[in-house]
Structure 1
Amino acid sequence: MRCPACRREHRYTPTSYPCPCGAPLAPPLARGGSPEPITHRTWNEDWVLVRCAACGREDQWPQPELGCSCGTVLRIPVRPVTAPPVPLPVHIPVPPTAPAPRTAFRPVTIRTARDAVTAAALYLKWLGFRDVLQSEARPASGIDLRGPGLVAQVDPTTRPASLRAVECLWLNGLSNSSTSVYFSLAGYTKDARTRGDELRIPLFVMDLTGTPQPVNDAADELIVTGP
């Protein structure tokens, strides 16, 4: 799919989440549909009805989103629930010599700013960071999460994260000899995205399911290698 803001092309696979019946569930994408930039976000919008192909249960799920490298957050169109469900993929056994994979990340639905911080903390623990602590109230430094070798900032606002915010996070990490990680619900301005790349800061965007998505190479590497 192509970003309408910068015309970059992306491959996108929707994240699967567990249905109450235990089967993996992902919203079926509308083939040929055009993604739309998200310019304004509210907590109660962008929910879509999805049917589980295994048990037939219908539930409300957040509409998929994708963070483009230009800083734009895109809303991915989903097929209506009346369309035939997408068949589940065939399971391929993992060779016995393969390393044990991480268990599936279990997100927390984001409805408040505090939920966004909690979701980011859970994700960092899932990546392998230990003793991740949340601040009781947001400090002047903007650092919402800390742990051994870690500082992280979570921006739950409807505005893209700024260049200054990314640089301040980097300085906090530098002064503490820690890895700096940034989470944003509304993406990043172009200069913030560029600066994050230059400073090798992992940048993530979060959708309303509470599942972070990497938007730069540093974030991709963090997912693969861990702390």
Structure 2
Amino acid sequence: MAESVPVRCPACRREHAFTPATFPCACGAPLTVPLLRAGIPVQVRHRSWDDSWVILRCGECGRCDQWPQPEFGCACGATVRLPVDTGRTGTDQPSGRSGPRRQTTAAASLPPLRPPFHPVTIRTSADAVTAAVQYLKWLGFAEVRPSEDRARSGIDIRGKGVVAQVDGDIRPTALKEVECLWLNSLNEDCASAFFALAGYSRDARVRADQLSIPLFVLDLTGTPQAVNEAAEVLIRVGAPTVP
């Protein structure tokens, strides 16, 4: 299993314990993106799809494939990317051995009766919406689907008792977007959730906390990470009962 490494956010200098994600290669072997020792983390200010992936070779079968860059969302709103040692193979165990995949934070805190979440790898903005739809279903919301009237309503996802927004922009989500989601949830008299690829501006996070709007950051594996307390509560409790 991959070990945690201390990482300091370049924006606010807050220290984090970061554990590189482990993915299954096509051959079945666990593959962990190798971090560059003594590498300097950088803040992701402008995201592009090409820069979000790294090519690595599996240490078991030798297959080369694209894998998500190691990133995490800091509490200050910054998205932090760690440098990768592309000269090493992506392997979690010495050759000839295998090990269990690392559970994500959300999966590690599952309610007793909730099955494991199976993420959808994000390569396009449509994939981001699909990942959010699957996650809301996993949380217990019913009839969740992409909205058919997004241009008119500004809502990306609708479900029974929930509306959600997915921001695939390369810039942090702004305050206005969070407030628009809140107004839509008031109008629909339902719960809400926001998913973003590049994190949130500071004022957007503050406002979301005031309005108790769950904020999630989507990494490229398609696994949402809770950004605020409202999101953590939603993960623990699940979807509210809707008559």
TM-score by shorter chain over 0.5:
yes
1:189 aligns with 2:211: no
Instruction: In structure 1, give the amino acid aligned to 2:27.
Output: C
Instruction: In structure 2, give the amino acid aligned to 1:71.
Output: G
- In 2 relative to 1, CA 18–100 (structure 1 residues): closer, same or farther, beyond 3 Å? farther
Aligned to 1:116: 128
User: TM-score, length-normalised on structure 1?
Assistant: 0.84
Deviation at 1:137, TM superposition (A): 4.9
User: TM-score, length-normalised on structure 2?
Assistant: 0.79
User: Are 2:117 and 2:135, in contact at CA under 8 Å, matched by a contact in 1?
Assistant: no
Instruction: In structure 2, give the amino acid aligned to 1:108.
Output: T
How far apart, in 1, do the equivalents of 2:31 and 2:142 lie?
Answer: 29
1:162 aligns with 2:168: no
Aligned to 1:95: none
After superposition, what is the alpha-carbon deviation per residue over 1:107-160, rounded to whole angstroms, capped at 9, x for unaligned? 13322x222212211222222222102123523332100111111001111221
Choose from 145, 153, 163 the match for 1:151: 163
User: Are 1:110 and 1:210, in contact at CA under 8 Å, matched by a contact in 2?
Assistant: no
1:102 aligns with 2:115: yes
Task: Flag the structure with higher strand content.
Answer: 2
- In 2 relative to 1, CA 17–218 (structure 1 residues): closer, same or farther, beyond 3 Å? farther
CA-based RMSD of the aligned residues comes to: 2.5
How far apart, in 2, do the equivalents of 1:181 and 1:215 lie?
Answer: 11
Choose from 137, 148, 168 the match for 1:136: 148
- In 2 relative to 1, CA 217–28 (structure 1 residues): closer, same or farther, beyond 3 Å? farther
Aligned to 1:226: 238
Deviation at 1:197, TM superposition (A): 1.8
1:36 aligns with 2:49: no
Aligned to 2:186: 174
After superposition, what is the alpha-carbon deviation per residue over 1:73-117, rounded to whole angstroms, capped at 9, x for unaligned? 1112222242583325569xxxxxx94562242313322x22221
After superposition, what is the alpha-carbon deviation per residue over 1:150-183, rounded to whole angstroms, capped at 9, x for unaligned? 1100111122111111112112223323221101
Aligned to 2:23: 17
1:198 aligns with 2:204: no
Unaligned residue ranges in structure 2 (runs of 5+): 1-6, 102-110
Instruction: In structure 1, give the amino acid aligned to 2:115.
Output: R
How far apart, in 2, do the equivalents of 1:90 and 1:133 lie?
Answer: 32
How far apart, in 2, do the equivalents of 1:99 and 1:122 lie?
Answer: 19
How far apart, in 1, do the equivalents of 2:90 and 2:193 lie?
Answer: 40
Greater Cα offset, 184-193 or 14-23: 14-23
SS of alignment partner, residue 221 of structure 2 = coil
Equivalent pairs: percent with the same residue? 54
User: Are 1:2 and 1:10, in contact at CA under 8 Å, matched by a contact in 2?
Assistant: yes
1:50 aligns with 2:63: no
